[in-house]
Structure 1
Amino acid sequence: MSASTPISVLLPVRNGAEYLPEAIASIEAQTYSKYEVIAIDDGSSDDSWFVLQEWASRDERVKVFRQGPEGIVPALEFARSEATGSYLARMDADDIARPTRFELQLQLMESDTSLAICGCAIEYFPPEKVRDGALRYQTWLNTPATPEEIEKELFVECPLPHPAFFMRADAIEEVGGYRDLGWPEDYDLLLRVWQSGGRLGKVSAVLMQWREAPQRLSRTDKRYALDAFRRCKVHHLVSAFPSAVNGVLIWGAGRVGKGFGRELARVGVPIMAYAEVNPRKIGQNIHGAPVLDTNEALRLRNVLHLASVGQEGARQTLRNLLSSAGYRELENFVAMA
């Protein structure tokens, strides 16, 4: 690593020419300037390569490469192999970094050496394209502030947005970097880093503008579909909580809970019971697993409890209930959605 460039920006590009100049301008405007950019044109058919070449010709910190198209994981791993910084900062070709992003994320990582990855608060844009669902997701992403709060959300959704990742290069190398297993590569990486002992942090300030666009990869690629997220969560749940193989109790016999039940059963995890407050569901059986009332479920202490409801309010109610009954989050119960 060169002491003068501690940050390597990983920038994969696929047909990003329309918005790439805005992303470039936001990188150039950073208050912390000791960085290098590793930009990978992943088989673009528009003018992305020419935009990148022009940028590299006027800024010696920028290195550009072409491949493929091979996909985002090979592009990120190519960029990582060329990176010389001790920190890796993710950036997408259609997003905008606020000027103090690198400065504040570096400051946080330097002040807490237990952190392996940090993110930041984000803002969806442009406002005329941001719908209620995106605003709710933005609020959820921006709410957890501490490493302890972030890790409690790990099996609900990916609690740090990928374009805002700021990572220790050695922590990413330790877990083998990005990989493509048919589910979200960023979520998979975050969960592996956490399981390896790396803590996750966040700068509470809004440092990234995340473009809301129908062609965004997370909206068009099957790796980011609901069932792919579910498979990723279950895979890492079983890895992080080995006691799950002895059986789980699922709080919530609705769409979310039953979806996890099917995937858990598919990988061989016994579903000991479901728990419900709806009297019409109590006493039923779901694929052989009884649906218990709250009191019966709380007495079943020798299994991992999963608070598997989609609505944040209901999830918090379950957290409060289980905590008041002596259960400890991320020890014998986990919130999932």
Structure 2
Amino acid sequence: MTNSSAAAQIPLDDVAVLMPAYNGQADVDLTLASFSETAPIHVLIVDDGSTPPIVAPVIANMTIEVLRMPQNGGIERALQTGIDTLAERGFRYAARIDAGDRSVPQRLAKQRVFMELHPRVAGLGMWTQVVTRAGKPLFMLTPPPEPKAIRRMRFFRLSLAHPSMMLRIDAVREVGNYRSEYGSAEDLDLFVRLMQRYDCANLPELGLYYELNEGGISATKRRRQVISTLRLQWRYFNPVNPYDWLGLAKNLLHLVTPYRALQRIKRLLLAPRASR
């Protein structure tokens, strides 16, 4: 779909990394230092009421703006504000990442090449290596690349890893931006709405190291996240799609299964892929 030599020549003037942050200055520094691109990188950190406030690190080849929210309002509001701010600044693409995660070299250039060649794609993810806080590989997330498969399995499996995504900003705003209606499942809510008008796809190569954080949203707000996902499934349920039925059963099971037990199951099922 794209190659490293072509990506290396791509300017990133219309791309900005969008990272919400609440405390965790060290994680912010680690994540931004992981980016390696030939072209200069633009970053918008949305500081969601951190105490003390997030400070932009000084990193070569990177221009960093910190937008401070007056108080902690949650990731949904931070991302919504971030998208609107980037639109006002004239950026076309928002590359998502979360504090603590790490990017692979040339991720942004590769994604921008693909997005330019596929104007109907409004969101583009990449394969993701899940790691511990210490960086130890746990398992690999390898969702399908094709829009049709992603749309069909949207409620059954993780088809788009949110921190790996590059988003077309005008499309995100066209469908209503990030919302707080489905708390802790703001990414799935956005992707479902995007796929009603556009396509979403994945580059089938490693693009992100995702840190499995016991203090992250998936752990601390898990019940809220599962309930929001079930509400989305009910709203957009397609009875002729067998994966919608499977997804419904899966998330009902998640609702009654402890988080750590689910993580152990994932590691057992997916750990062999981590060595690839």
What range is the shorter-chain TM-score in? 0.7 to 0.9
Q: Which has the larger radius of gyration?
A: 1
Counterpart CA distance in 2 for 1:44 and 1:173 is 26
Q: How far is the alpha carbon of 1:21 from its aligned partner?
A: 1.4
Task: Name the TM-score, length of structure 2 as normaliser.
Answer: 0.75
Closer, same or farther in 2 for the Cα pair 1:163/1:257, shift >3 Å?
A: closer
Alignment of 1:269-284 (within 5 A): none
**CA contact 1:37–1:61 (8 Å) conserved in 2:** yes
Given the two structures, how large is their TM-score scaled by the length of structure 1?
A: 0.62
Indicate the SS of the match to 1:227.
helix
Report deviation, 1:30.
2.2
Provide structure 2 residue ranges, at least 5 long, that are not aligned to the other structure: 1-10, 254-264, 266-276
Letter of the 1:101 counterpart: R
The alpha carbon displacement at 1:66 in A equals 1.2
Q: For residues 148-177 of structure 1, give each alpha carbon's deviation from its aligned partner in whole angstroms, at most 9, with x where no partner exists.
A: 222221121441111011011111011010
After TM superposition, give the deviation of residue 258 of structure 1 in Å: 10
Moved over 4 A (4+): 127-131, 257-260
In 1, Cα distance between equivalents of 2:234 and 2:127: 27
Cα contact 1:218–1:224 (8 A) shared by 2:
no
In the other structure, the counterpart of 1:31 is 38
Aligned to 1:323: none
Q: Secondary structure at the match of 2:181?
A: coil
SS at match of 2:163: helix
Distance 1:128 1:65 in 2: 29
Identity %: 26
Which of 16, 20, 43 aligns to 1:12? It is: 20
Distance in structure 2 (CA, Å) of the matches to 1:77 and 1:89: 14
Instruction: Within 5 Å, give how 1:146-295 maps onto structure 2.
Output: 146-183=146-183, 184-195=185-196, 197-222=197-222, 224-237=224-237, 241=238, 256=249, 259=252
**Partners of 1:190 and 1:222 in 2: how far apart?**
19
Alpha-carbon spacing, 1:69–1:59, altered in 2? closer, same or farther (3 Å): farther
Q: Which residue of 2 aligns with 1:63?
A: 65
Structure 2 residue aligned with 1:332: none
How far apart are residue 127 of structure 1 and its match? 8.1
User: What is the CA distance between 1:59 and its match in structure 2?
Assistant: 7.0
Stretches of structure 1 that go unaligned for 5 or more consecutive residues are 261-310, 312-337
**Residues 226-245 of structure 1: CA deviation (Å, up to 9, x unaligned):** 222111211122xxx5xx6x
What is the DSSP-based 3-state SS (H/G/I as helix, E as strand, rest coil) of the residue aligned with 2:26?
A: coil
Q: CA RMSD in A?
A: 3.2
Relative to structure 1, the CA distance from residue 205 to residue 43 in structure 2 (aligned partners, 3 Å threshold; closer, same or farther) is same
Counterpart contact for 1:73–1:180, Cα < 8 Å: yes
Residues 182 and 210 of structure 1, relative CA distance in 2, 3 Å threshold: same
Equivalent residues of 1:182, 1:223 under 8 A apart: no
Larger relative contact order (Cα-Cα within 8 Å, sequence gap ≥ 6): 2
Alpha-carbon distance, 1:105 to partner: 0.6
